[in-house]
Chains A and B, each alone.
Chain A
């Protein structure tokens, strides 16, 4: 069944912009990206939109639909309020290039700051045996498609641009967690994460988890886990005491 859908798309660039209304023919079962493409084809050939796989796996078509950060290719029109205009804006946290396309290079700058996997001195770099239970733990974090929705929704940088230089963001907290939980990784990233990458800025309001299209439990399984690991090395006297004793025993043993 076909019907007319009103789209409100933010159009402009870094110098300014505004909402433009389009009345687009929509069909049952369509997603937001479909009607954006129709708008492009029928009314606004110069509308800039980034997309790729149309299957929720490439993370390209991130935008804010009715104010909520989502993937356009995975948002069914039937899931939006019926009879109301659908508002589409670019990701608010990043500088806009044109229309719905933003400059997400901030994330790649942060990616470069993550120390790479570093095998423990007494372990081979590869290959090594990893058991399923150890693999499963970081497997969840490997599902990340880097759509940057978590980075976009995080209020630490969304509402406070000034925090960007010292805040890596949820996507990279899961990367740090993944490496820190790797059985063969020998680098200690806890203090680095707390002192230079802004783990302490996170106040665990779980918005990153809410918007993740891969349903990664970013807050529970990565951020809080890393906060607890930081507590181990910085704030817990009991763990510190037993850690020192264990280290002493190992030293005497060696």
Chain B
């Protein structure tokens, strides 16, 4: 026996009567329509798929599955006013998978990098062995880089000495602000540390521990919008690190030789370029900001290339981060005499 369901809709539609016991699907409207929209339509005016009943002429609405079962009549009255309370579900999350695994791994790698980079930046020694210069210390802008410069045949002369003898701490601090700022404000890393360190949220559909949330709409996180500036500076730095990679072919006995360190510096420069060029800001500047792709065919093509790279931005972010630390470590090991640099030719 089919039930009769009467609804008191709070919307601007007349009350409707439905047959069938399928209280959930048809008795309660799919969505509350707003003016100019129908119950089966989208919020932007596109038509929706329509109610199940109307899509199947001759079939009674709401009898899809249960129609074959003899059931008693069910009446559902929608509350007169809109319901305001959410479902009272206490647990932080009901996820069964290991949602904590990804943030835990991310946090471990990020914290390890920060600890290593801080130690390396403040060490202020073993960052140069001819012809390799650690990417953490390049370009050397302080005059205390002299001991690095002394052994090199060519090292950034226009830059060196920009910060005079009054600069007493490690020269790495001056330049590291650029790559760190670029990575800190990078859209991918933001996701990584907001999830893994700030727990906002730790994983999707897992309740965050913070009482209030303003996101990047207020100080201090509104500063994240300077990402574009760091992108410009980062490109400049990539150019310098590329020159360092070229310099790594310049051994005391002349140009055209290469060791394992050369390979490290070259790969490091390539990874940094791919990471920078796959960045969302780059994608936007190249073509994303255009309204008419059709009027700018070259930029549209370039945008397509950067968009493809952008899909791998996360992987490039991790690989380049780890590799830059490994490159610094290698130069450090060779400079301190722990490792002998193997020469290829």
Contact = CB atoms under 8 A, between A and B. Distances in A.
Interface residues of A, number: 104
Nearest to B48: A58
A52 B293 contact: no
A15 B85 contact: yes
Interface string A18-50: 000000000000000010011011100111111
A7 interface: no
Contacts of A75: none
A253 B61 CA distance: 63
A69 B204 CA distance: 9
Interface string A191-232: 000000011111111110011000000001000110111111
Contact of A111 (B34, B201, B293): B34
Given A60-B30, A153-B204, A67 B225 contact: no
Contact of A160 (B34, B43, B213, B225): B213
Contact of A205 (B22, B87, B195, B218): B195
Contact of B24 (A51, A67, A104): A51
Interface in A53-95: 53, 57-58, 60, 64, 66-69, 81, 84, 87, 89-90, 92-95
B86 A93 contact: yes
Most B Cβ at <10 Å: residue of A48, A145, A155: A155
B94 A64 contact: yes
Contacts of B34: 108-109, 111-112
B52 interface: yes
B82 interface: yes
B289 A200 contact: no
B225 A234 contact: yes
B49 interface: yes
B302 interface: no
Contacts, number: 261
B205 A69 contact: yes
Given A17-B88, A64-B94, A96 B83 contact: yes
Contact of A96 (B64, B85, B95): B85
Nearest to A159: B208
Contacts of A64: 94, 205
B114 interface: no
B232 A238 contact: yes
Contacts of A142: 46
Contacts of B168: none
B104 to A, nearest CB: 16
A152 to B, nearest CB: 8
A203 B191 CA distance: 7
A50 B95 contact: no
Contacts of A198: 215, 217
B250 interface: no
Given A53-B52, A104-B31, A205 B194 contact: yes
A50 to B, nearest CB: 6
Contacts of A12: 87-88
Describe A's contact surface by its main secondary structure. Answer: mixed
Interface in A99-134: 99-105, 107-109, 111-112, 114, 131, 133-134
A46 B86 contact: no
A149 to B, nearest CB: 10
B72 to A, nearest CB: 7
Interface in B20-41: 21-25, 27-28, 30-35, 37, 40
B343 interface: no
Interface stretch (B115-123, B144-152, B260-268, B280-288): B280-288
A183 interface: yes
B87 A96 contact: yes
A95 B84 contact: yes
B191 A206 contact: yes
B23 A46 contact: yes
Interface in B262-308: 280-281, 284, 288-289, 291-294, 300
Contacts of B21: 40, 45
Contacts of A112: 34-35
Interface string B43-86: 11010110110010000000011100101101010110011111
Contacts of A108: 31-34, 37, 43
B22 to A, nearest CB: 7
Contact of B94 (A67, A101, A104, A224): A67
A204 B48 CA distance: 29
Contacts of A206: 191
A98 B71 CA distance: 20
Contact of A13 (B24, B83, B280): B83
Interface of B: 21-25, 27-28, 30-35, 37, 40, 42-44, 46, 48-49, 51-52, 55, 64-66, 69, 71-72, 74, 76, 78-79, 82-89, 93-97, 187, 190-191, 194-195, 200-201, 204-205, 207-208, 210, 212-218, 221-222, 225-229, 232, 280-281, 284, 288-289, 291-294, 300, 310-311
22 contacts: A12-B88, A40-B21, A40-B23, A42-B69, A50-B30, A92-B86, A94-B86, A95-B85, A97-B79, A98-B76, A108-B37, A133-B293, A145-B42, A155-B208, A175-B43, A182-B291, A205-B191, A205-B195, A205-B204, A224-B187, A229-B289, A235-B228
Given A17-B88, A52-B30, 6 more contacts: A48-B76, A90-B87, A96-B85, A108-B31, A175-B44, A207-B204
